[in-house]
Structure 1
Amino acid sequence: MRQKRFVLPLCLVILLVLMLKPMPTVACSCAMMPSPEEGISNAQGVFSGKVNSIKENSGLLGGYGKTVLFTVKETWKGINKAEVAIMTGSGGGDCGVAFVVGQEYLVYASVSDMYEKRSLSTTICSPTKALGDAAEDLAAFGQGQIPTDDENPIDSGKTTYLIIGGVVFIVGLLLIFGWKRYRK
C-alpha cells in the first residue's frame, strides 16, 4: 500500500526532470577584438541605439543572462526594426556586456544559442561599444539607415517551447490521474 502513495509524486518528479534542460555554462575568453570591417562581416546585425530597459532572465525555461531592449537610431546590417531585443550575459565570466539604461551603443549582434535558443545576442568578444567610443567604426561604415520596420523579428522559439512543455505536462498529469482513478 505504501508503494502506491509514492507513484504519483514520483511520476510528477520524473515529468518535471524531463521538462527541465541543463543550464549551459560558459567561460569567456577573447583573443583579439576584430576590426570594424571584420566585425560587420561576422555579425548578422549592426546598429546604433539607446538602451530602453534591461531584464534579467530566469534561467529555468527562459534562457539566462539579460534581455536588453534598444531603440534603434541607425542601422548598417540586418536590423530594420525601430526596437530590437538583444541577449547578453549577466557578467562574471559569461561574456555579458555591461549595458546601462539610457546610454547609446554601437551593437554588433549575431544569432546564437549562447543565452537563449536562436536569439540575437552580443558579447564582450564582439566589437560592441559605447557610441562615444565608436568613432573609428562609424567612419569605416559611413552613413547608416533609419530603421524601416519592414523585417520580421527573429523568432527565438521560446514561446513555442513553453507551450509544448505546458501541454506535455498537463497531458502527463491527466494520464497519471486517469490511470490512478482507473486502478481504483
Structure 2
Amino acid sequence: MRKKLHVFPICLVILLTLFLKPVPATACSCAKEPSAEEGFSRSQAVFSGEVTRIKDNNGLFGGYGKTVIFKVKETWKGINKTEVAIATGSGGGDCGIEFVVGKEYLVYASVSDMYGDKSLTSVICDPTKELGIAAEDIDILGQGQVLPHNVKPIDNGKKTALISGGVVFISGLLGIFWWHWMRRNKK
C-alpha cells in the first residue's frame, strides 16, 4: 500500500524557512575610541539629544539589537529633524551602546545594515558618550545648530514590512490549502 505524502507540513516548513532569518553571530572589539575629529569625519550624523524611548528589535521575523529614539537638542552634521532613530546592539559582544531613557548623549552615527535594515547606527567603536562627559568633544565640534521643535513621528517602514510579510505568508498558506483541496477533489 502506497502512503500519501502529506504536502501541507512540507510546504509550511518551506514557507517558514523563507520568512524566518537566523540572527547573525557577532563579536565586537575596538582598538581605541576615535577622537572627536575622527568621529566627525567618518560619521554621517553627529547630534546631541535625549533618549525618549528604546525598542527591542529581537523578534520572530528576524532583526536584533535596539532602536533608540532621540529628541534632538543640537546637530552638527546630517540631522534635520527634531526626532531621530538610531540602531545599536543589545550590549555585550554585539557592539551595542547601553543607552538609558531620559539621559542625554552626544551621538556619532553612520549608515549601516549591521542590525538589520540600513539605518543610522552607533556602536561602542564610535565616540558616542553621555552629554555630561562630552565637553571636550563639544569644544572641538563648536556650536551646533538648534532645530525648531516640530517633532515628526518616526516611521522606519518595519511595520509595513511586517504586515506585508504576514499577508504573503497567509496567502501562501491559503494557496497550499486550495491546491491540496483541488487535488483531493479531482480524485
Give the TM-score of the pair, scaled to structure 2.
Answer: 0.87
What residue is the counterpart of 1:113 in the other structure?
A: 113
Q: 1:49, CA displacement in angstroms?
A: 0.5
CA contact (8 A) 2:19 2:61 kept: no
What residue is the counterpart of 1:45 in the other structure?
A: 45
CA contact (8 A) 2:44 2:78 kept: yes
What residue is the counterpart of 2:19 in the other structure?
A: 19
- Runs of 4+ in structure 1 off by over 4 angstroms are 152-157
How high is the sequence identity, in percent, across the aligned residues? 66
Aligned residues: 182
What residue is the counterpart of 1:89 in the other structure?
A: 89
Report Cα offsets for 1:5-62 as digits up to 9, x if no partner: x321221111001111221121001012111111011111110001111222224335
What residue is the counterpart of 1:3 in the other structure?
A: 4
The answer for unaligned runs of 5 or more in structure 1 is none
Report Cα offsets for 1:112-161 as digits up to 9, x if no partner: 111121021110000000101111110111111112579x9997553454
What residue is the counterpart of 1:29 in the other structure?
A: 29
Q: 1:165, CA displacement in angstroms?
A: 2.3
What residue is the counterpart of 1:135 in the other structure?
A: 135
Give the TM-score of the pair, scaled to structure 1.
Answer: 0.88
Task: Give the root-mean-square deviation of aligned CA atoms.
Answer: 2.3
For 2:137 and 2:154, the matched residues in 1 are separated by: 25
The answer for unaligned runs of 5 or more in structure 2 is none
What residue is the counterpart of 1:68 in the other structure?
A: 68
CA contact (8 A) 2:68 2:88 kept: yes
Computing the radius of gyration from Cα coordinates, the structure with the larger value is: 2
For 2:149 and 2:182, the matched residues in 1 are separated by: 55
